[in-house]
Chain A
Amino acid sequence: MIEVKNVSKTLDNMDVLTNVNFAVKRGSIYGLLGSNGAGKTTLLKLVTGILLQDEGDILISHQSVFENPPVKNRIVFIADTLYYFPQYTVKQMANFYRSVYSTWDEKRYEKLKDVFEIDESKKVQKFSKGMQRQVAFWLSFSAMPEILVLDEPIDGLDPVMRRKIKNLIVQDVADRGMTVLISSHNLREIEDICDHIGILHKGEMILEKDLDDLKSDIHKIQVAFKGKTPENLFGNLRVLYKEERGSVLLCIVAGDQEMLTEHFTRSNPVIYDMLPLTLEEIFIYEMGDAGYAIKNILV
């Protein structure tokens, strides 16, 4: 659905994005993680056709998005800082969106009125930040986009509203195969709804993963042996991290759970434990040195 190929972008003589590649399949929710200044917003603005990349291609269903209204008609973008026309009420904004997006669904709009419980005859700019964000979701969901692009969307929403909006997103993805690209500087905020994660660091995509694969693929293991630890214990295994605490060896290893258990028990350890791993631990170990650099963004 969304293909980003070898995209680079320079802003004001600074390389903001360097050779970024990633793809989002139809009906999936892709989380774009990165600290401030990593280039998330720029990347989203490229995907939504606001900015034009210096190099590379951005394709939506194999079509270029920049200055291409039929493609843009299928995308709705909610920016991190929202803009509403001065003096406009929710109703007037809705009229505007209706005139612009051919996919606008009036019934959906009416239905969502009950979800958000916002007075549509009030001026949007007078609302609080959180209310304005709800209006943005209201309008965006009513436009029935095939692709919803959200830049730091959860900020400023209370927990109840977060839940509601996440539910709405998931529901649209399930019901009509909507594709979602969502950015955040906080993994925990979005890990419950994303099925894919990409980490952008200093303009480069340093990691892209299917979250389910990730969780089942990396394991923390504690082993202890009588006497010396056998040589060549790990064999061909991919070891992300290891540490010896006395006679106990703590390691993080990639691989299938059963395969790993079989591998280690073959050496007859005195202790063998497979421990649960949090998502952020996985990221940090997975990424090695770069992982420590971005540790802060994963909390």
Chain B
Amino acid sequence: MPSKTSWFSKEIAFQNLRTVGWVGFVYLAGLLFAVPLKIIMLATDDNQYFVRFENLFSFNADLQWFLTCVIPVLLSIFLFRYLQVKNASDLIHSLPIKRTRIFNQYLIMGILMLIIPVVLTGITLLILHSVMDVTDYYSLKDVLYWLLDTIITDLLIFMSGVLVAMITGLSAVQGGLTYVLLLFPAGIGVLISYNLKFLLTGFPYDYFTDKSFDKISPISQALNFPNMKSPMSVIEIIIYLILAVVFYFGSIMIYKKRKLEAVSQAIAFSQLRPVFKYSMTFCFMLLGGFYFGGFQGGFFWIIFGYIIGSLIGYLIAEMILHKTWRVLTRLKGYVIYAVIFAVVFGLFQFDITGYEKRVPKVANIESVYLNNHPRGKKFFEEPQNIELVRNLHEKIIGSQGTAGKTSKYGDPLFFVYKLKNGDKVMREYRLQDKDRYIAYLKPLYESNEYKQAHYKLLSVNVDMVDKITISTNGRVTRSVSFVDPKDIIAAISNLKDDIENETYEDMTFEHGADSNVEILLKNDKRMHLDFKPSYSNLKKWLKAKGQLKNAVVNANDISSAIVIRKNNHSSYKTSLTNKAWIKKMLNKGQALKVTNKDKIEMCLDNFSWGSVKSRYDVVFNYKNGNMDSGIFDGKHTPAFVEQYFNGK
């Protein structure tokens, strides 16, 4: 009877359809609701503002993401439920059918249940495209991409669920572990890099997170679909497919070895139970470090986080494995784990690999990047600058104590060395006292190479400039524009001179209310830079043209400035612009009212909007009734202010 031995049994197919068919129907309904219906609603609503949709994932993006994450996992749970229910498992496996055959048939039914709703929705979209004017919303190519990406992502998530189904004996654990598996690569990447930050001085954590771990998990990646022009690259599709195939063969292999008596065990393979237990312990340890290190900081809190986290992880794993609350008597494994990791942390503290002390040799360095953010593209190539960066790096390594490792405050500084052999060495530091390194930073920031790299204006040809607009930045709005080529030449050349003369101190001073210079180029591109108080050439030229008053906020805009001395650098319980409070401070002699125009000008040139620790706050009362507040940092406190308060 050949029909009996063929791999596909109609009755099993019916059985699958009866038990999990509803998942397919829910999926179809969800997709139809999310995409074609939404498009019909948009296309037939005349009052609708035009909204640009990047692709078909952008329609009801949240719902689509939800369906993609939930439906395949749900399907894998219900489809392979027979493995997790003792009676069903016994019945199915007593039948004269090989496990591989059951598996393949169930799997194919599952895949059909995923693909058919997607394809039907795709067909609906194609029909819609031919009968309605929906070209604003999508093209036929979009439909193709949508079909492909949805199916591929669904397949990978589904296969992950299937793989986990083979490993576990409980449906609930299957669901949980599937998401753990799917999120694991991204999650563990973030956790490890975050924790290495605590353990290794100089570990470039922000560099890694900026590279985004999103891509390595289908769930987080799918979240990005709605904003991407072509969601999945060919390489990604190939990787997903390879993974799905690997999971397929892995599942079959595991299924063949699976002992059916493991039904209703959290982990069906006893060899995997310790792996599960200690993975949980490890991940929760990192999570504990992440939480307490990130929100509290400090050596004690990080160690506390590790201990509490690992203990919780260990206990949860034990509870799941033994299916009981009473696990406090099983702490032997935890003690062993704790001892091993105490040793590992010790090794990190002693920097066994020399990671913290490593600075590449000059001879090996091709170029080097240094900045307070990791995303820049400009590298130092001149030998004396490379040397300076190296020296700075060595100085930082030499002077960082253990406190530096765990600090979450401080000025960030990124080093990226490109080596001649193609390797990269990356480091990140949070400097508590950046001024200590001024001897290295100053020549670097003031070097021509740095300025050329960071000020695009320096490489702009004056002929390319169409228009210059300088606008104020503060509680008054004014601007002045220049279109006359003569003016443009003069302005640009003054600005270039100012930039070339700009010192490190000027560059790092975060002045409040810098006016904005916008340079419009002939190719319609715009450049923006700050008009800093130190740009004296430009200031002089503007003054000569009689336009300075229009380009910057000046003393004529201000009726008075109030400088308030802080007590013990403490923060106030009230807003700085609380007039009654200011009055009280004036009466107490804690504040100074400035009405002299030159002094107001001094205040305007030297205040900043930072939140740096400062001894003085300043409040500006504008003539138009507005108020503004800022601070004087140590180096920029006007002399008359110090004099006044010191005299008291």
A83, B15: Cβ atoms closer than 8 Å: no
B19, A50: Cβ atoms closer than 8 Å: no
Q: Dominant SS at the B interface?
A: helix
A48 contacts B by Cβ under 8 Å: yes
Task: Give A69 to B1 CA distance when docked, in angstroms.
Answer: 14
Complex interface: chain A residues within 8 A of B93 (CB): 49-50
Instruction: Return the CB mask of A161-173 against B: 1 if under 8 Å, else 0.
Output: 0000000000000
A52, B90: Cβ atoms closer than 8 Å: no
Task: Give A45 to B93 CA distance when docked, in angstroms.
Answer: 10
Complex interface: chain B residues within 8 A of A83 (CB): 85, 87-88, 90-91
B209 contacts A by Cβ under 8 Å: no
Complex interface: chain A residues within 8 A of B96 (CB): 69-73, 75, 100-102
- Which partner residue on chain B sits nearest A70 by CB separation? B96
Contact among A67, A69, A82, A101 for B87, CB-based, below 8 A: A82
Contact among B9, B86, B88, B256 for A100, CB-based, below 8 A: B9
Task: Give A10 to B310 CA distance when docked, in angstroms.
Answer: 32
Task: Given A67-B98, A99-B4, A100-B11, check contact A51 B260 (CB 8 Å).
Answer: yes
- Which partner residue on chain B sits nearest A81 by CB separation? B87
Task: Give A72 to B12 CA distance when docked, in angstroms.
Answer: 17
B90, A102: Cβ atoms closer than 8 Å: no
B99 contacts A by Cβ under 8 Å: yes
A72, B94: Cβ atoms closer than 8 Å: yes
B358 contacts A by Cβ under 8 Å: no
A67, B260: Cβ atoms closer than 8 Å: no
B94, A49: Cβ atoms closer than 8 Å: yes
What total of chain B residues lie within 8 Å of the partner, measured CB to CB? 28
Task: Give A87 to B21 CA distance when docked, in angstroms.
Answer: 13
A77 contacts B by Cβ under 8 Å: yes
Task: Give A75 to B93 CA distance when docked, in angstroms.
Answer: 12
B10 contacts A by Cβ under 8 Å: yes
Task: Given A85-B15, A96-B15, check contact A77 B87 (CB 8 Å).
Answer: no
Among A39-96, those with CB < 8 Å from B are: 42, 45, 48-52, 67, 69-73, 75-77, 79, 81-83, 85-88, 92, 95-96
Task: Given A51-B260, A85-B19, A87-B18, check contact A79 B11 (CB 8 Å).
Answer: no
Q: How far is the CB of B631 from chain A (nearest CB, A)?
A: 68
Among B81-130, those with CB < 8 Å from A are: 85-91, 93-99
Task: Give A81 to B261 CA distance when docked, in angstroms.
Answer: 15
Task: Give A77 to B98 CA distance when docked, in angstroms.
Answer: 16
A99, B10: Cβ atoms closer than 8 Å: yes
Q: How far is the CB of A204 from chain B (nearest CB, A)?
A: 19
Q: Which of B93, B98, B259 has its CB near the most chain A CB atoms (within 10 A)?
A: B93
Q: How far is the CB of B112 from chain A (nearest CB, A)?
A: 19
Contact among B1, B18, B89, B260 for A85, CB-based, below 8 A: B18
Task: Give A70 to B14 CA distance when docked, in angstroms.
Answer: 23
Instruction: Return the CB mask of A206-243 against B: 1 if under 8 Å, else 0.
Output: 00000000000000000000000000000000000000
Q: How far is the CB of A10 from chain B (nearest CB, A)?
A: 10
Contact among A48, A50, A73, A99 for B9, CB-based, below 8 A: A99
A77, B4: Cβ atoms closer than 8 Å: no
Complex interface: chain A residues within 8 A of B94 (CB): 48-50, 72, 75-77, 79
Complex interface: chain B residues within 8 A of A67 (CB): 98-99, 256
Q: Which of B15, B88, B94, B261 has its CB near the most chain A CB atoms (within 10 A)?
A: B94
- Which partner residue on chain B sits nearest A101 by CB separation? B96
Task: Give A101 to B9 CA distance when docked, in angstroms.
Answer: 12
A-B contact pairs, 22 of them (CB 8 A): A12-B261, A42-B261, A48-B94, A49-B93, A67-B99, A71-B96, A72-B95, A73-B96, A77-B94, A79-B87, A81-B87, A85-B15, A86-B18, A87-B18, A96-B11, A96-B12, A98-B11, A99-B4, A99-B9, A99-B11, A100-B97, A102-B1
In the A-B complex, list the 7 residue pairs whose CB atoms are closest, starting with the nearest.
Answer: A83-B87, A73-B96, A99-B11, A72-B96, A69-B96, A77-B94, A83-B91
13 more A-B contacts (CB under 8 A) besides A45-B260, A69-B97, A95-B11? A42-B261, A48-B94, A50-B90, A50-B260, A51-B259, A72-B95, A79-B87, A79-B91, A86-B18, A87-B18, A96-B11, A100-B97, A102-B1
